[in-house]
């Protein structure tokens, strides 16, 4: 099943979605996909006039591929402009992914501050060759994503740089407008920015993740490339704290992201 088919599945039967093994990330389902599916279930409960503004995501435990997952949504409060929701993915009676989301209608305001410019990075043409899917070496979900490094180094290259990123889009995707669900997958596609500091492979995963979306979402399709860059702000004791952003190819800001990651090395 491709990304679009999984989004359709959670919309049609949220109580029983099975994620195939080709979307795995180690022993768990790809975190960006899990976040996208929980968000999609939440989005279905909110008026279209209230786009998502921010999500706070906790990966409570690994979601196992091939085992049914239930996506549940609770409306915490629906105010005059903002709806607060809680979404969860439940597998075998246990919560595996938890999201608190804020969806809000626009308001008239005298404040209008443009976004900071996109990070300078190698152009798509000058960036690294596309990361290949290598069975047993790269995560399984990489087969569904096209990624090219434009900033920093590859994981496990023993290069202690603070920044990492480049160009990303869905691979072999159905052409359709990009939504926040797609952005969740594209932002989380990148490995933790700490991994280039290591000289040999080691496990790493996201513990908590907050992401904020610029509304309205820029007009682009799933065939378009996006730019991403993450900066390490602090790392110690097996935990790292990174700040990141995603832009379209023109440099228009799409999302702002923060993650706490764990690295077992």
Predicted local confidence at residue 159, as pLDDT: 96
pLDDT digits (tens, 9 = 90+) for 7-38: 999 999 999 999 999 999 988 999 999 999 99
- Distance (Å, rounded) from C-alpha 27 to C-alpha 45? 31
Contact 28, 63 (CB under 8 A): yes
* pLDDT tens, position by position, 51-104: 999 999 999 999 999 999 999 999 999 999 999 999 999 999 999 999 999 999
How far is Cα 4 from Cα 111, in angstroms, rounded to an integer?
37
pLDDT digits (tens, 9 = 90+) for 145-163: 999 999 999 999 999 999 9
Domain count, the chain: 1
pLDDT digits (tens, 9 = 90+) for 232-250: 999 999 999 999 999 999 9
- pLDDT tens digits for 93-127? 999 999 999 999 999 999 999 999 999 999 999 99
Return the sign of the alpha-carbon dihedral for residues 186, 187, 191, 197.
positive
User: For the whole model, what pTM was predicted?
Assistant: 0.95
Residue 176 structural domain = 3-263
CATH code: domain of residue 165: 2.40.160.210
The C-alpha atoms of residue 72 and residue 78 are separated, in whole angstroms, by 17
Structure tokens at 256: 């702002």
Radius of gyration of the chain (CA): 18
């Amino acid at each position: 099943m491709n990304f679009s088919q999984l989004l359709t599945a959670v919309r049609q039967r949220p109580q029983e979605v099975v994620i195939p093994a080709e979307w795995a990330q180690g022993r768990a389902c790809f975190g960006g996909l899990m976040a996208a599916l929980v968000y999609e279930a939440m989005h279905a409960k909110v008026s279209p006039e209230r786009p998502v503004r921010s999500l706070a995501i906790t990966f409570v435990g690994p979601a196992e591929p091939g085992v049914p997952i239930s996506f549940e949504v609770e409306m915490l409060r629906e105010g005059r402009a903002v709806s607060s929701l809680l979404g969860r993915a439940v597998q075998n009676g246990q919560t595996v992914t938890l999201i608190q989301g804020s969806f809000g209608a626009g308001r008239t305001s005298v404040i209008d501050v443009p976004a900071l410019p996109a990070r300078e990075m190698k152009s798509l043409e000058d960036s690294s060759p596309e990361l290949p899917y290598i069975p047993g070496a790269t995560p399984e979900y990489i087969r569904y994503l096209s990624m090219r490094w434009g900033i920093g180094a590859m994981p496990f290259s023993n290069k202690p740089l603070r920044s990492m990123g480049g160009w990303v889009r869905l691979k072999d995707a159905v052409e359709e407008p990009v939504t926040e669900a797609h952005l969740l997958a594209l932002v989380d596609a990148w490995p933790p920015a700490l991994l280039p500091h290591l000289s040999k492979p080691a496990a790493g995963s996201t513990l908590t993740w907050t992401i904020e979306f610029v509304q309205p979402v820029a007009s682009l399709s799933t065939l378009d490339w996006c730019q991403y860059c993450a900066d390490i702000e602090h790392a110690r004791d097996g935990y790292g704290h990174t700040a990141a952003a995603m832009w379209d190819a023109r440099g228009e800001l799409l999302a702002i992201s923060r993650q706490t990651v764990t690295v077992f090395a």
